[in-house]
Amino acid sequence: MLAYVFWHWPQSSIDRTVYESDLLQFHQTLAANKPAGFRFSLVYSMVGARWLPTTTSVYEEWYLLDDSAAMDRINYAAVNGPCEEPHNRVARNADGGVGGLYRLRLGQENLIKDKHATWLSKPPGMSYSAFDAQIESVISNQAATLWARQMTLGPTTEFCLHSKTLLKLPAEFSGTTISLTTLK
């Protein structure tokens, strides 16, 4: 399973409630007109994404896809047909945005219930098998999922742990934890 993740924020002159309403309408329209390979999407509001050139609250959209072929189909569907105008309303009012591609590496996807994202890198010198073994204990003990950035497509660190509760990481790991609020 892949996730296309897109971070964006509105222009300062745009009312956030209008921006959020337009954003949710786009997601509802996309869900009603699902392209092949698209599972679902959701939107979080968050503050503290150090990799973004803004300190304001941003929106983080997750688009769950069966495979990379679904990227072409969702890219086309987002800006054509029924989705075109809802997408354009959000795009016109955005001040900036950046995206990335992530693969579910460990755990069972449960984004709808997640409240925290911990962005981290593999400690220098640690093998991926050792990293996976240590993170797997965190995931199984705390019902989390590990997402891995693909092909360095995205501005973040290499990994993201999503969880319902704050995670306790092994001592040799450090990361940035951001609280997530799901938009509805």
Are residues 159 and 146 in contact, defined by beta-carbon separation less than 8 angstroms?
yes
CA atoms in the 13 A half-sphere facing the CB of 96 = 10
SS3 14: coil
Q: What is the count of structural domains for the chain?
A: 1
Q: What is the pLDDT of residues 19-78, one digit of tens each?
A: 999 999 999 999 999 999 999 999 999 999 999 999 999 999 999 999 999 999 999 999
Q: For residue 66, which amino acid is it?
A: D
Geometric angle at alpha carbon 71, from 75 and 95, rounded to 5°: 45
Q: Give the pTM.
A: 0.95
Quick one: pLDDT at residue 131? 95
Q: Which domain holds residue 84?
A: 2-182
User: Percentage of the chain with pLDDT > 90?
Assistant: 89
pLDDT at 184 over 90: no
Per-residue pLDDT of 144-171, as tens digits, reads 999 999 999 889 999 999 999 999 898 8
Assign 7 to helix, strand or coil: strand
Residue 106: DSSP 8-state:
E
**141 falls in which pLDDT band (50, 70, 90)?**
confident
pLDDT recorded at residue 76: 97
Output the domain CATH number for residue 75. 3.30.70.100
Q: Is 151 helix (H, G, I), strand (E, B) or coil?
A: coil
CA atoms of 21 and 184, how far apart (whole Å): 9
Please give the Cα distance from 61 to 27 (Å, whole number): 9
The per-residue pLDDT for 110 is: 87
Question: Are the C-beta atoms of 119 and 175 separated by less than 8 Å?
Answer: yes
CB 29 within 8 A of CB 89: no
